[in-house]
Amino acid sequence: MDLKAMGFDGTSIVYNRSDNIDDLWSGDPEKCSLWIMMHSLRDPSQAPEGMATVQLMTQFPYNYRGYWKREMDGTRGKEYTELKEALADKLIGSAEEIIPQLSKHIVCKDIATPLTFERYTLNSEGHAMVGSRAQGPSCAVRKRRSRTFTRQATGRSLAEPYLPVALSGKNAAQLVLKDMT
């Protein structure tokens, strides 16, 4: 899709499908707030030539539908995959109210749930951004002295102010250097 020709300039769009604040944060895929980001319009290196990236993001509770219908042993099986695919399809359908026929142009789709964020970032309950609830797992990783810790301890979110991100990077470097001596 040529998103520029459609009038998009890479500015993030917040699409609120309800006037009720409770609906926007309810985890109801028909009513929740939807953020639409098209990073490749501002940084063309984010997508192959002639293509674009579209990122959709919303908030769903960590315990949504029985913890995303994961198995009793914590594994993610068929029901988990089906649930996240169905939700992604609903969100893409909603995004089509802003970007017509988006679903017909998807070449690659990657879906992340709070369980995904928890697995890859170790953020408490799968928080996508750093917050006070996300600090516990960072501390638990400290003794690993690994690249994972460095990524975990430094600023993970562009939404954070610059100074705290820089300071967290400095602190991570000091911890790694301390462990090396």
Using one digit for the tens of pLDDT, what is the confidence trace for 120-167?
A: 777 777 766 654 333 333 333 333 333 333 334 444 444 444 455 556
Query: For the chain, which residues make up each domain, given as ranges?
Result: 1-107, 112-181
DSSP reduced 3-state for 24: helix
Our CA dihedral for 45, 88, 137, 157, rounded to 10 degrees, sits at 40
Render each residue's pLDDT in the chain as its tens digit; 181 residues: 899 999 999 889 999 888 888 888 777 888 888 899 999 999 999 999 889 999 998 888 878 877 777 777 777 888 888 989 999 999 999 999 999 999 999 999 988 888 787 777 777 777 666 543 333 333 333 333 333 333 344 444 444 444 555 566 666 777 777 777 6
The rounded distance, in Å, linking the Cα atoms of 178 and 9 is 45
- Which residue, 112, 140, 144, 110, is CA-closest to 124? 140
CB 55 within 8 A of CB 75: no
Q: What is the spatial distance between Cα 138 and Cα 41, in angstroms, rounded to a whole number? A: 33
Instruction: List the structure tokens of 151.
Output: 């990524």
